[in-house]
Structures are given as C-alpha cells and as structure tokens.
Amino acid sequence: MKYKNIIMLSVSMIGLLPISSFAQDTGESEVITVTSTRSERLATDVVGNQASVSGSEIQFLSPTHVNEALQAIAGANISRNSGQESLISLRSPIFTGAGACGAFLTAQDGIPLRAAGFCNVNELFEAFTEQAGRIEVVRGPGSVLYGSNAMHGIVNIISRDVGDESSYASMEGGSWGYLKFNGSGAFRNGNHGFRLTGTVAHDGGYVEDDGYNQQKAQLRHEYDNGEWEISSNFMFTNLDQETAGYLVGLDLYKDPVAARTNANPEAFRDAKSFRYWSTISTNVTDNVRWQFSPYARSMDMEFLMHFLPGQPLEENKQKSIGFQNAFYINEGTELEIIAGFDGEIGKGELKQTQEGPSPGFLASRIPSGKQYDYEVDTKLIAGFVRAEYDVTDQLSVMGGVRAEHMKYDYDNRMTSGQVDENGVPCAHPDGCRYTRPADREDSFNNVSFEAGLLYKIDDNNSFFTRYSRGFRAPQSAELYRLQRNQLVADIDSVKLDSIEAGLRGVADTYSYEVSAFYMKKDNVIFQDNRINVDNGKSKHIGVEGMFEYRFPIDVSIRANGSLAKHTYDFDYISDMINWNGLDIDTAPRNFGSIQLNWAPANKVKAGLEWIWMGSYYMEPTNTYKYEGHNYFNLRVEMEAMENVDVFFRVMNITNVRYAERADWAPFGVGERYFVGKPRAFYGGARVRF
C-alpha cells in the first residue's frame, strides 16, 4: 500500500532517543543506560546507537511475551514462536537452523543468561522481562566489555532496584484462559535494601494443545555504606509449556479453523533456571573505582524435538560460574579508561534419545535409542581496555580492544562414529545420520575492537559514528552434534565488521535518533548437505530511526522504522540457483510501529499502536514469499480509586489473520507458519502499597 510505504520511509529517516511513553506525565527527560560501559551513563553521551524501554512503559504494556515489550525499538524484530519461545533479529534476519544460536548476547544486568558455548535460541524466556526496571537494546556489535555472541546486538534486561521502596500487586486475565499475577515488595533497613519480585502466569493457548505455566521470582539486596556499593540478586524461573508445531500449507494461517490445529500435540518444553549475581563497587583511590561482578548459573531443560524425524527427546543441563572485573579510571574527567578481565568455567551435558522407530525409509538410517550423550567443560578468559577522551567540549573520541580465549573439553559418553548406540553401522547406504566425534579439545582465540566519536552539534543534538568488530565462537552443539560422515567440525569463529553513523537529539517537545549501518560477516556457519561448514558470508546495510513528539495537549506520538537489506555474499548453488546477492530468508526489508499516546493526567493513560511487518522471502533461493501484515493494539489504564489502577487491552483490534513467522521446508513440506493470535482481550487491576 502506498500510504504505508510513505510513512515507513519517512519514519526510517528520523529516530527517537527512547524515554517513557508518558514522559509528559512522569517528567523523564534524561535517560540512563548501563549496557555500553557496565556503569550508569547518560544515553545522550553514548558513542553509538542505544535504545531502551522504561520500567513504567513495561508496566503499562503488561506484555504477555517479550516481543510486545520491544515493538517500539527500531531494528528489533522478536519473532514469537509457540508459547514463550522466541527468535531474535537485531540488524539481521531471523536466524534459524545451524549458526542461528549465539548471534546475539542476551543478559540480565550485563551478565549473559547462558554460559559461553551453550546458547539457546529461545533463552529470553529465562530473563525477568515481565517486571524489569528497564530493557536496553544495542544493535550491531556490542562494546569490547562484552565478548562472544555480542555480534548482531545485545538485549540487556535491567533489574528493578529497591528505589523508593514502591510495592504493588496485580492480577489480570484474558482470552484463551490467560491469567497472570505480578507482585513486588521493597523495604529498607539502614544501609540495606530489599526487593522481592514474582510473576506467575498461565496461558491456555490459542492453538489446540498449546499453552504454558510459568513462574519467575527474584530477590534483590542492596547495600551502601558510602564506601562500598553492593547489589546481589537471586533469580529462579520455571517454564512448563505445551508446544504447537508449524501449521503447514499455503496461507493456511488465514483459515480461522485450520489456524487453531496442532499437528504436534505431543510436543512440550520444560525448562528451569537458577541464577545468582552481584555487583560490588568501591573507590580504590581518588581516581580509580573497582567494580567486580561474580555470578553462578544452573539450567535444566528438556523438550521434544517434534520438527525432526522420529521426534527425539533432548535433555540438556548446564552449570557455570564466572566473574566480570573492571577498573574505572578518571571517571567524569577528560580521559576515562575502563580496563579489566573476565573469566568463566562451565559444564554442559546433552542427551538426545528417540523412543520409537523413524518414519518410512529413514528407519534404516535413524535408529531409535540414544543418538547423542556427551559432556563439555568450558573455560573462558578475556582482557579488555576501553578509553574515551574529550578532545573539546563538543568532541569526544573512543576506542577499545578485547582479546578472548575460549576452550572446550569434549567427552563423548557413547560409541564414537557414525553408528547406533550399540556401535552397529546402519543398514542405509549412506550410514547413520547422527555422528559422534571422539573425545577432543578445541580452543578459539578472538579479538574484537571498536573506535568512534561523538560530536555535540548544540545543546540538543549530536552526531556519532562507530566502527566495531564482533565475534562468535562456535557453540558446543555445532562442534560436537554432527551428522552424516563428519567426524570433526572444522569450523572457526564467526566475525562481523560494522560501521554506523547517526544523529540524535533531545528537547522539551521531541526526541529522536537515526542511524545508518553497513556490516559484513565472514565464516557464517550453516549446514551443507547436513554437514556444518563455515564458508558463508553476508552483507547487511540499512537505516533505522525512532522519533517522538510531545504535543502541548497531553498527546505524544512515537514512531520507529527499519529499512534494510540482508543478502548472501558468497557463491552457493541450491536447486540450480546461486545464493550470492539474494535476500537472506526471513529478512523483511522494512518493519516498524507507531504509538499514539494520551496522558491527560496521572490517573489516565491510553495508547494506540500500529504494528507493520514488510514482506520477506521464506527460503534462500527467494522463490517463496510471505506478504507481510499490519495490525493495531489498544491499551487503557486509569486510577479507579486511591492506589488502585485498572487496565484494559485489545490486541489485534481488527482481527487480522497473520503469521508470527513464515518459512519453507523441502522434501514436500512446503510453506509453514507460526500462527499470529487473532483479536484478544485482557484486563486487570493493580494495587499500590
């Protein structure tokens, strides 16, 4: 539609330095960010792009899934799969299959959710996004203070602090049996502060035999005696999910009856996680501050791999401990330096077991029983230095470098080779599909760097540019979960070089940020005839923008958009078609949203949101295409009585039939979709103490 393209192109040329949706109401004019430097900075002083969603906005949105919280971030496309599963896109396509995991760093308070080498594409459900104090997003390679996986971007969930000791409890319900209970309480005693936060949610599921129960809890302790500042966190998450598989058939998501069917009612995902982390800070001397963050993690997950022949069960466990350590030198002066080192050790286990026989001709190639059973010990050590220098009152320059060493010690607990669990070769001419390497050690050394500048044009506007390199060491599953006759995965770290330039501004009535980027990626890992290889390359070029204008009549409008092209940059022939120059699959060239907000008083808030997704190709040869979609959401919140708020949401007001994600599978499968939800209603109440 012409009007949509005009609006999208206009929005793509301007941007927003994000603040609360109701800044007129809250008076927020200065945004604090911590992701770039692991310490609090004004967002206007960051060299490079940054965006955030405030805690007050998250509370107003009351998201049922993390993608609802990040719709207003330009260049961020979080695809909702089944239940609480998700796939991330930041200046990138939606990645699936080999090489998909680890392209992004997901973290809580700067601590990665998963140990290096053990990522999961759905790991955002292990973060406490529902009651975050703030969610920060960096598009493109992260700062040198972060290492492997901070390649296409960072999603950093900032915990709610003790703050003003505000406490509340809420309950809401909605379509298809949705229920959620939120609670958070805080108090102080001398130098100590405590906050306990919890969420319990149930979703009956729009699709048959689909839904979940989820619980999250976090205990935070803060201590400040004027010399030492210490914050400690303990967090637990549990997900019990009945999973819906793909809906297979051309445009079948448009059929209201077929859209609710589930071809895999037996599928499930159960996941538990426990995390501890602290941040300890003190001044060593007058001009040196030491910050130390120890942490520990434990995860346990099992799920039925309904998308594979024979539907094997995967069971994986991970335990890890580590620390982040940095010295902040000359903070607040012309020359600021951050230098330090990080370390981590971890242990991961993975078992894949198939109970019944494989279908049809695959019975002779994929035998039942155990298919993988291995353990991997990891060690990571990294050192970094980053400096910022104020050349003048208007011009600041920045540079940094990080060196990182990653080591894997792999132990195969089954018979090695291309055989079944008893060591017997398969009858199929090509042998068994699953291959188990012999015990081995692998190590990877990587260097990342960044350089940039920030020029303050005047009191309200500034220009920034940044060159950076990000990397991603191969993940353990890519190295040791092999297929066909591949006994050693001869793959190296993925590297991405990025250059960006942008403008941002903040004034009483408007805020904006716009950035243009160009990125090239080497050693892209993908499967060639079921063999993991790393000779892929890709190019990514685009512009992103966000803009907010606050009218004098208690109305504000915020818009964000992304216009980008993500293409293969290497020769590879599939179905007699060369991928080189073609769009990467599941990479829309444009998407974004517009939010119109009304806040006439502290007691009333309302927001109308338009979400659009451009068309994209569903597979690498660019033969099949998803047409895209548009839909609208409405949210209203008001104070019903003193300290009691009521809220109401209508999601997908016009009942649009759309796909959350669309792709295409070979061997006669064809078009397949994760179905977007039709019109849904939610309502609830919140009591403030």
In tens, the pLDDT along 252-309 reads 999 999 999 999 999 999 999 999 999 999 999 999 999 999 999 999 999 999 989 9
Residue extents of the structural domains in the chain: 2-688
C-beta neighbour count of 667 within 10 angstroms: 5
Q: Does residue 11 have a pLDDT over 50?
A: no
Average pLDDT (661-683) is: 94
Which positions ≥6 away from 289 have C-beta within 8 Å? 281, 282, 283, 327, 328, 331
pLDDT, tens digit, 9 for 90 and up, residues 187-234? 999 999 999 999 999 999 999 999 999 999 999 999 999 999 999 999
Average pLDDT (442-459) is: 97
Q: Does residue 335 have a pLDDT over 80?
A: yes
Cα–Cα distance for residue pair 506/3, rounded to 1 Å: 28
pLDDT, tens digit, 9 for 90 and up, residues 361-378? 899 999 999 999 999 999
**Nearest-10 Cα torsion for 198, 158, 40, 220:** 30
Q: Does residue 466 have a pLDDT over 90?
A: yes
HSE (side-chain half, CA atoms, 13 Å) at 417: 10
CATH 2.40.170.20 fits 2-688, yes or no: yes
Higher pLDDT, 542 or 602: 542
Cα torsion angle, 230, 51, 133, 551, sign: positive
Q: What is the CA radius of gyration of the chain?
A: 25
Cα–Cα distance for residue pair 47/41, rounded to 1 Å: 11
